[in-house]
A and B are shown apart, each in its own frame.
Chain A
Amino acid sequence: MQHMEAAASAGAHQRSQPSRREDFMKHMVRYKWLYLFLVPGCLYLLIFKYIPMFGIMIAFKDFSLVRGIWASSWIGFENFEYLIRSADFYKVLRNSLILSFYHLAFGFPVPIILALMLNEVRNMIFKRVSQTLLYLPHFISWVVLSGMVINFLSPSTGPINFIIKEMGFDPIPFLLKPEYFRTILVSAEIWKGAGWGTIIYLAAMTGIDPSLYESAKLDGASRLQQIRYITLPGIASTITVLLVLQMGHVLDNGFEQVFLLYNPATYEVADVIETYTYRIGLIDGRMSFAAAVGLFKAAVGLVMVLAANRVARLFGNQLW
């Protein structure tokens, strides 16, 4: 009896110190499916997200499609030196920044104001119907929207110029004139995105404690005062976080809307980093330089988004 106990405890003593390798193998056997499941997704991410990151090398080489990436010779920072001295690049950068600024200045407040207005609506049917209509533009493609814009502004048959002609003036070819481009683009962007943008603010508003409104009403506060002193502060952190995050995307202008609405007559103001990269890279074939521009945008974008996230978290934390 004692022998057996001794033998058993000796065996147990041995087993209580299993090797790390055995642990690992046991873990793998038990959870093999989890790791198997991950394979396709990881393969995809590796091939389509990470390998292109290594394609950044193209920016540092005198790249030719024929020779491929490995046979092309290394030229170091030549492309970037050229970039810094390129007047074209500064023009494009300036356009990108100005458009982003316009979009921020005019487009950012609209969903907030709309959300405030919607929040005051008591009739649920009206609210539901209007929200359905407001979200609709978000779901149509830029090709469709640009088609509408191009036709609406058409100097020969478009509705806008129809009105202008009726009033006795000459028709204006809006899309051919640089001075109108920014307004047209940002207006289209706002039309498309404002309704959708209200969702997050409305969600934030539902998080405000209703008793705050109750006590304000008891104190005799008017509707406008309630909005100013309760609703707005209630969504202030949401607004700040979204504002900061949007600033992180200052170099992103969206390829589709610019590309579909611009033309050589408006390149001066319309050409942004995305469209510039496309034109010189794929149309003109200057791939290394285009890759350098792309890398510049991605790198600066990364820094800005990280910084913005850091700042946003600060503000987000202030609420809790």
Chain B
Amino acid sequence: MLDVINYTLITLICVVMLYPFMNVVSVSLSSYSSYVQNPLMVWPEDVTLGAYKEIMKSGMLWRSYANTIIVTVSGVGIGILLYILTAYPLSKKVLKGRRTLMLLIVFTMLFNGGLIPNFYLMRSLDMLDTLASLVLPALLTGFNLILMKNFFESLPEEIEEAARIDGASDPYILFRIVVPLSKPIIATLCLFAAVGYWNNFFNAIVYIRSPDNWPLMLYLREVIEGASTMARSANAAEMGEEMMTSETIKYATLVLVMIPILCVYPFLQKYFVKGIMLGSVKG
């Protein structure tokens, strides 16, 4: 009996989680008039690809998509290299100044300069309004660094010692032996970093000015705001065709922005629970 209630409630909650996605996808594939008649739809009505065709005409969409891809790939690529290079020495007890370095790293998690100093730094480095300003602030976080360091510490020392006896140099050991053994943590960090870069809005709104440099999130926000101003326009009749597709356009853009995350999601599932466990057990 209790089971029935439990399963029902959980199913209800899952429906609540899922419904917005279903609604968004359905509306994006429907005609505007069927949306107005039934905004609650969970399945497309009067199926049309009109909204998608309309937004794909926009050069801005492709531009901001490219920007975000560049930012994400470089951010994850450079980031993971930095994590590996930095966490490895920190995992070695022989390192002089290890405790001080760890304290300094932990401190960065507790205190930061704030918005204005960071803005001023970017300006001084001439990085305002560049894609670099979207990549650099998030490259390394203390938390992830500690995660990776802990993972390296958990690897048995004998493997490295055996390699060292065979005459392997430190870089060789790190990249040919330790890294292949660290695939779980590397995959976890890469995936989380990728999602973080893809979804980031804050850095973009602070640092980016020209539409040419807009990442996807700025473009999406513009579509959401713009379409709603269009909808509130007094000249609704004049707006005509455009207004007809405003909500469907917004949702189609939403879907296009979400697709990569949803594609990566199954892989995320495989690794992230492990990642959390790693963090909480060692943390």
A residues neighboring B (CB under 8 Å): 27, 31, 33-35, 37-38, 40-42, 44-45, 47-56, 58-59, 65, 68-69, 114, 117-118, 120-122, 126, 129-130, 132-137, 139-144, 146-148, 150-152, 154, 156-159, 162-163, 191, 195, 199-200, 203, 223-224, 255-256, 259-260, 274, 277-278, 281-282, 287, 290-291, 294-295, 297-299, 301-302, 305-306
Contacts and interface: CB of A to CB of B under 8 A. Distances in A.
Contacts of B111: 53, 298-299, 301-302
B113 A56 contact: yes
Nearest to A160: B39
A158 B232 CA distance: 13
A157 B36 contact: yes
Contact of A41 (B6, B114, B140): B140
A213 B9 CA distance: 24
B177 interface: no
Contacts, number: 236
B115 A195 contact: no
Given A27-B96, A157-B35, 14 more contacts: A42-B101, A45-B140, A54-B117, A55-B117, A65-B120, A134-B13, A136-B265, A139-B268, A141-B200, A143-B199, A143-B221, A162-B39, A223-B2, A297-B114
Nearest to A116: B6
Nearest to A46: B104
B51 interface: no
B18 interface: yes
B69 interface: no
Contacts of B56: none
B16 interface: yes
Majority SS at the chain A contact face: helix
B251 A45 contact: no
B52 interface: no
A140 B199 contact: yes
Contacts of B112: 49, 52-53, 298
Nearest to A286: B116
Given A34-B170, A191-B17, A281-B115, A199 B82 contact: no
Given A33-B171, A134-B14, A298-B112, A203 B276 contact: yes
Nearest to B11: A130
B3 interface: yes
Contact of A200 (B20, B24, B280): B280
Contact of B114 (A49, A259, A291): A291
A278 B205 CA distance: 10
Contact of B95 (A31, A65, A148): A31
A134 B17 contact: yes
B94 interface: yes
Given A200-B276, A291-B117, A256 B202 contact: yes
Contacts of B124: 68
